[in-house]
Amino acid sequence: MSRTLQLALLACLTSGIVSCSRESRILRQPPPANDILNTVQISGLNPGANSIPTPPPSNMYQESAYAVSEGQTLFEQYNCVGCHAHGGGGIGPPLMDRYWIYGSEPGNIFATIMQGRPNGMPSFRNRIPEYQVWEIAAYVRSMAGLLPKGVSPQRPDEMRVKPSESSTPPQIPTGITGSPEQHQ
Amino acid sequence: MAVTEPVVANERDVADAELARRLDRTWRQPKGFWGWFSNTHHTAIGLRFMVTAFVFFLLGGILAAMIRMQLIRPENSLMGPDLYNQVFTMHGATMIFLFAVPMMFQGFGVYVVPLMCGARNIAFPRLNAFSYYIYVGGALCLWGGLLTNTGPDVGWFAYVPLSGPQYSPGHRTDIWAQMITFTEVSALGVAVCIATTILRHRAPGMTLNRMPILLWEKLVLSFMVIFAMPSVMVASSLLLLDRLVGTHFFNHSEGGDVLLYQHLFWFFGHPEVYIIFLPGAAIISTLVPAFTRRRILGHTPIVLSVVATGFIGFGVWVHHMFATGLPQLSESFFTAASLMIVIPTAVQFFFWVATMWNGRIWLRLPMLWCFGFFFVFLIGGLSGVMLASVPLDTQVHDTYFIVAHFHYVLIGGALFPMFAGIYFWFPKMVGRMADETLGKWHFWLFFIGFNMTFFTMHFLGLRGMTRRVYTYLPEMHWGPLSALATAGVVFMTAGILVFLVNILRSMRMGKIAGDNPWGDFSLEWATSSPPPSYNFVHIPMVNGRNPLWDGPIDQPLIVGLRDDIRETLVTHSLDTEPQHKDEDPGPSIWPFLTALTVSAAFIGSIFTPWAVPIGAPPVVVTLIGWLWPRGHSPAPLPGRESWQH
Amino acid sequence: MIASFIGVALALIQAKSLDPGGHNMLQPAAPQASQIEWLYWTVFWILLVVYVLMIGAFTKTAVVNRSGATGPLPIMTDEKGDRRAKWAVGTATGITVITLFVILVMSIVTGKKAAGLTSKNPVTVQVTGHQWWWEVTYPNSQADQTVTTANEIHVPIHTPIVLLTNSSDVIHSFWPPNITGKRDLIPGYSSAAWFQIDKPGIYRGQCAEFCGLQHAHMGFSIIAQSVEEFQSWEQQQLKPANEPGTPEATRGRAVFLTHSCLMCHTIRGTDAGSRLGPDLTHVASRNMIAAETLPLTAGALAGWIVDPQRIKPGVKMSPNPLAPDDLQAVVAYLQSLQ
């Protein structure tokens, strides 16, 4: 019995250490990092060496189901659906397919939203706070099925327009001028 | 079938000792690591239920202490809202699903019922063992969730849409919903075992008319569990389907209904609290005659009250929904039903008083806890009368008034009788008496602390403090009363610590208890303390409602059950005529293995639907192992005593 | 026994304590709450009598019938006592049934009275629950006569008010304890709750159904005014926002319209037209901000704008790290929006 007790204690300890990032709720946002836009690249081409000198920024929000769910809410509330619908596109390009004009990495999406893009994508710099842009970027990736199932949102409490992001099969990105894809 | 014949005293002693030796060999409980997991004897499983449930009581109590520490003053920053939401949800879920039902119904029921029936073991012992392991699986699922930041944070009742897929992202609520599945399967299993034991394994002579109140209550409870638990399983399963599969049961935009969840949940939820309270009332009905030294007055009306409570308990659930704006006429119906359910409980109270009024009270520790029950549960019950009224409920619903009410009825109605029952049956379970002085310290510390905490909450509720708030503004003037409520936690903790010391010490150093230290009348006191693995050397016969008080010295016994295989007697449900003999399956590892595979399938299905097709074959394999036919036991050796029909 | 009497005395003292502006169901300021308070006290006294009788019986048995024996006493029977006792139990049960029936009738009557208020000309208030604030509109058949505000409900006295409930996300519950009982705001359902206030004053309420991270800080207030005051308030609310009168306020408006503020808030008369957060057109006419959590002062406003997550972690409003001058300007502008 004491051996069982020891095993149980060990299980408790290890599970406490391996605390689930999927369930984290980041309620106090880290301060905005102003150099993100300097490190994001759209094109994978460099003169000289073939590799990208600096690793692209990661998005800690895409590991948290809560943050992705917030991103889903914001996507609708900030009227991204006005141009992109729920991923099917319209005035703007679709977001749920394989084609990413400006790259599918979290940093690329962040830069797209912050800077705006030619032919109609507004710049939301100073309008949407940075952490919310990261949340929206995480949600956008989930629309193409690029986030793990546990983190992607399930069906919203609204009328159904498409299958939920968590049941969307992953659309492996092929950019038109895409940056080299990192492993998901 | 079995022959009953009087046996002469001195010959009987010699024959008994030999019989006991043979029975002990046949019914021996397995030892060793795997033996522990194969044990299917009801005393072992019952003790495990009780100990495990008590561990979760302590864990839930720690959560409660955390809640009170956070609320000790306005705008306290001990816990943020996210952690607080998980803590109070886990407190409610742990106390209700992992402590109250497993202790009061499963623990006490599984241990005491077969002994009180005069049976050798519970019916369907492997299902009983499986129920224990699946309960532990559910408990580990829930607490594993809390320890990995995946603890549910939507309240123990998890109303949609807050617990739905949009507002509760991640798997926190899935852990909760699946825990429901685990614990309800466990409760259903035990309900089937207990109901069958009571209906078919009672000792001959224990007709329904002579059945003790506790057995009646466990029978009613089993049926309540069988009818109520499916409702919450449906609620949680529909929630899981909405969350994991994308159905729209509770999605009002697509034709679903948010209130449907509440109806399904409370159709279970209200009988659930009676499932928690009725065992307490039955323990009181068992202890009062023992410590008043007289047969309980109004045995039949009390039994009828228990049955009536069981029935009416299914007709009052909407009183949890009075604030939702349902039509007045339907709300009034439920007011009437909620007031009506007071009557059976009142009848029980009156008969307890009447029994004690003309008796001589032997105020030992269990009886002290009975008095605690009277004082505390009465307040809770009367505040419940207030809540039955719709206008009053619309003011106090979801405030600390309700918190006070249900803690008075749950702690008063279940915890106080639980401690009474523990002190009462402790000698039977362990063979030693608990210490009276420590027990009295336990009682008074806990009683004072409990009232300090929860009586204060009545005022907090009347003054508008809502439930489930992680903090409050200083302007609300709830600070001093909240601090007083928190202070009570110190006393309650001290009381529980004294209890733990008492139990642990008395297990080794308590005064040796004989078979019947309290001089009580029911059948469990007719065997040694602790009972042997075969419970009774001879299956007893019963002559009246109080067997050990009514039975003569030369009480006839049942002979004729074989002692080389695990043979049990099955009797008719009404008049307990012996009908046939059944063979207890004996120790088996398959319930444990089945619980493992089922747990894996349940927990896996939270994370991926593949867990269902992948998890099902191991379940099937373990079920096949469980149900594999055992063949017939060998015929008795010639020369053994044979029985006539 | 003594403890319970002390407790009861405490109950009486505490409940009727003279807490000014008490958020307290036992300080009714409206007919609905008064009727419920009457019912409460009536039932309370009935139940107190029951409690005293029962506790008396238990105490009697604990004291008088107690034996000091050390071991189990012999079993006793008392046929005559039992017969008497059965009669007593029967009588007590009968009295219980009658008492419960009386309580039932009183409850239904009170319920009918409290809910029986109807009128042909009520003031209609629509309350929509959001996580974690209250959207308040006064619907009107003409769109430009519809008042939209947040967290503060103005009502005229001596007028029936009908509250239409709605929710945009999860279940909330509208509860002003001094006025009336609570009504849940359930998404997909709309119910009508009637009340009337006869005494002018400010009455606080709180959300009473767990709705997520900031359920604890979701308050509202009902301000009951004379009919004239209410109408002038209504007229004021219908006007578009004041033009900024000082250079600082002008700068504040510019900051408001060029930062994230306009993504969520409406100020009618400017370009800010988003409905995600509370309507700020007349924010300075309200007493408090952040759903009755903070007073409307410059300091509180500044702190709230810069970091709402510090005060209400989890709230949907983002932190806005503005430069100090910009922050001052925005605060000055908002304070000018009477």
Helix, strand or coil for residue C210?
A: coil
Residue B561 has pLDDT above 90, yes or no: no
- B159 CB neighbours in chain A (<8 A) are none
pLDDT at B604: 95
Cα gap B587→B592, rounded to integer Å: 11
- C318 CB neighbours in chain A (<8 A) are 29, 129, 131-132
Nearest-CA distance from A36 to chain C in Å? Answer: 18
More confident residue, B291 or A48: B291
Which residue in chain C has the smallest CA separation from A25? C314
In this structure, is residue B281 part of a structural domain? no
Residue A184 has pLDDT above 60, yes or no: no
Range of the domain at A113: 60-153
Read off φ and ψ for residue C118, nearest 5 degrees: -140, 160
Nearest-CA distance from B395 to chain A in Å? Answer: 30
Residue B30 has pLDDT above 80, yes or no: yes
Cα gap B340→B9, rounded to integer Å: 53
More confident residue, B463 or A11: B463
In this structure, is residue A79 part of a structural domain? yes
CB–CB contacts below 8 A, B to C: 282
- C263·A127 Cβ contact <8 A: yes
Can you tell me the mean pLDDT for B384-405?
A: 95
pTM, rounded to two decimals: 0.93
pLDDT at B409: 97
- B159·C171 Cβ contact <8 A: yes
At B291, the pLDDT band (50, 70, 90 cuts) reads very high
Lowest mean pLDDT among A97-106, B366-375, C180-189, C288-297: A97-106
The candidate with the shortest Cα–Cα distance to A141, out of A119, A108, A118, is A108
pLDDT at B642: 42
If one counts the domains in chain A, the total is 1
- Whether A46 and chain B come into contact, CB under 8 Å, resolves to no
pLDDT at B441: 97
Which residue in chain C has the smallest CA separation from A32? C321
Residue B319 has pLDDT above 70, yes or no: yes
Specify whether the CB–CB gap between B490 and B450 falls below 8 A: no
pLDDT at B641: 45
pLDDT at B640: 44
Specify whether the CB–CB gap between B233 and B184 falls below 8 A: yes
Run of H or E residues at B245: none
- A154·B165 Cβ contact <8 A: yes
Can you tell me the mean pLDDT for B31-59?
A: 95
Interface mutation vs chain A, best among C130, C214, C260, most A CBs within 10 Å = C260
Cα gap A118→C299, rounded to integer Å: 42
- A150·B607 Cβ contact <8 A: yes
At C17, the pLDDT band (50, 70, 90 cuts) reads very low
In this structure, is residue A82 part of a structural domain? yes
Interface mutation vs chain A, best among C169, C189, C262, C263, most A CBs within 10 Å = C263
Nearest-CA distance from A142 to chain B in Å? Answer: 14
Can you tell me the mean pLDDT for B583-600?
A: 95
In this structure, is residue B53 part of a structural domain? yes
pLDDT at B643: 43
More confident residue, C210 or B477: C210
The candidate with the shortest Cα–Cα distance to C138, out of C208, C227, C237, C232, is C237
CATH number of B191's domain: 1.20.210.10
pLDDT digits (tens, 9 = 90+) for C83-126: 899 999 999 999 999 999 999 999 999 999 888 788 888 999 99
In this structure, is residue A14 part of a structural domain? no
What order of strands is seen across the sheet that includes strand C172-175?
A: C152-156, C219-225, C201-207, C172-175, C183-185
Cα gap B241→C75, rounded to integer Å: 59
Lowest mean pLDDT among A60-64, B363-367, C31-35, C213-217: A60-64
pLDDT digits (tens, 9 = 90+) for B322-337: 999 999 899 999 999 9
Helix, strand or coil for residue B21?
A: helix
pLDDT mean across residues, chain B = 92
Domain C247-335: CATH superfamily is Cupredoxins -  blue copper proteins (2.60.40.420)
Domain spans of chain C, in order of start: 2-59+85-115, 123-237, 247-335
pLDDT at B139: 97
Read off φ and ψ for residue A153, nearest 5 degrees: -70, 150
Q: What percent of chain A has pLDDT over 90?
A: 46
Specify whether the CB–CB gap between C59 and C66 falls below 8 A: no
Range of the domain at B136: 23-79+100-254+539-645
- Residue B616, number of CB atoms within 10 A of its CB: 13
Of B325, B351, B455, the CB nearest to C184: B325
Query: For chain B, how many helices (H) and strands (E)?
Result: 21, 6
Nearest-CA distance from B153 to chain C in Å? Answer: 8
Angle between helices B342-357 and C31-64 (to 10 degrees): 20
CATH number of A131's domain: 1.10.760.10
Mention every residue, 6+ apart, whose C-beta is less than 8 A from residue A32: A129, A130, A131, C321
CB–CB contacts below 8 A, A to C: 34
- C89·B298 Cβ contact <8 A: yes
More confident residue, B116 or A34: B116
- Residue B455, number of CB atoms within 10 A of its CB: 24
Of C259, C313, C314, the CB nearest to A126: C259
- A19·B165 Cβ contact <8 A: no
Cα gap A35→A57, rounded to integer Å: 10
DSSP state of B326: -
Cα gap B5→B557, rounded to integer Å: 7
- Whether C215 and chain B come into contact, CB under 8 Å, resolves to yes
Label residues B369-391 b or e (16+ Cβ within 10 Å = b): bbbbbbbbbbbbbbbbbbbbbbb
Can you tell me the mean pLDDT for C242-264?
A: 94
Specify whether the CB–CB gap between C291 and C274 falls below 8 A: no
Cα gap B423→B436, rounded to integer Å: 9
The torsion of the CA quartet B547, B550, B554, B558, rounded to 10 degrees, works out to: -30
DSSP state of B254: G
Cα gap B141→B20, rounded to integer Å: 42
Q: Which of 267-326 (B) contact C at CB < 8 A?
A: 292-295, 297-298, 301, 323-325
| Amino acid at position B447, single letter | F
- A127·C309 Cβ contact <8 A: no
- A127 CB neighbours in chain C (<8 A) are 259-260, 262-263
- B298 CB neighbours in chain C (<8 A) are 86, 89
Specify whether the CB–CB gap between C291 and C217 falls below 8 A: yes
- A153 CB neighbours in chain B (<8 A) are 165-166, 169
Residues linked to residue C204 through DSSP beta bridges, in sequence order: C221
pLDDT digits (tens, 9 = 90+) for B119-172: 999 999 999 999 999 999 999 999 999 999 999 999 999 999 999 999 999 999
Mention every residue, 6+ apart, whose C-beta is less than 8 A from residue B71: B469, B471, B472, B482, B485, B486
pLDDT digits (tens, 9 = 90+) for A83-95: 999 999 999 999 9
At B645, the pLDDT band (50, 70, 90 cuts) reads very low
In this structure, is residue A50 part of a structural domain? no
- Whether A31 and chain C come into contact, CB under 8 Å, resolves to yes
- C310·A78 Cβ contact <8 A: no
pLDDT at B122: 96
The candidate with the shortest Cα–Cα distance to B397, out of B462, B317, B478, B328, is B462
Residue B613 has pLDDT above 80, yes or no: yes
Can you tell me the mean pLDDT for B90-119?
A: 96
At B225, the pLDDT band (50, 70, 90 cuts) reads very high
Q: What percent of chain B has pLDDT over 70?
A: 96
- A158 CB neighbours in chain B (<8 A) are 251, 253
Of C169, C258, C313, the CB nearest to A28: C313
pLDDT digits (tens, 9 = 90+) for C126-177: 999 999 999 999 999 998 899 999 999 999 999 999 999 999 999 999 999 9
In this structure, is residue A93 part of a structural domain? yes
Cα gap A144→C78, rounded to integer Å: 82
pLDDT at C43: 95
pLDDT digits (tens, 9 = 90+) for A102-151: 888 888 899 999 999 998 999 999 999 999 999 999 999 999 999 998 89
Cα gap C288→C222, rounded to integer Å: 12
- A132·C318 Cβ contact <8 A: yes
- Residue C146, number of CB atoms within 10 A of its CB: 14
pLDDT at C160: 94
pLDDT digits (tens, 9 = 90+) for B254-288: 999 999 999 999 999 999 999 999 999 999 999 99
In this structure, is residue B172 part of a structural domain? yes
Specify whether the CB–CB gap between C295 and C311 falls below 8 A: no
Q: What percent of chain B has pLDDT over 90?
A: 82
Residue C39 has pLDDT above 90, yes or no: yes
If one counts the domains in chain B, the total is 1
CATH number given to C123-237: 2.60.40.420
In this structure, is residue A118 part of a structural domain? yes
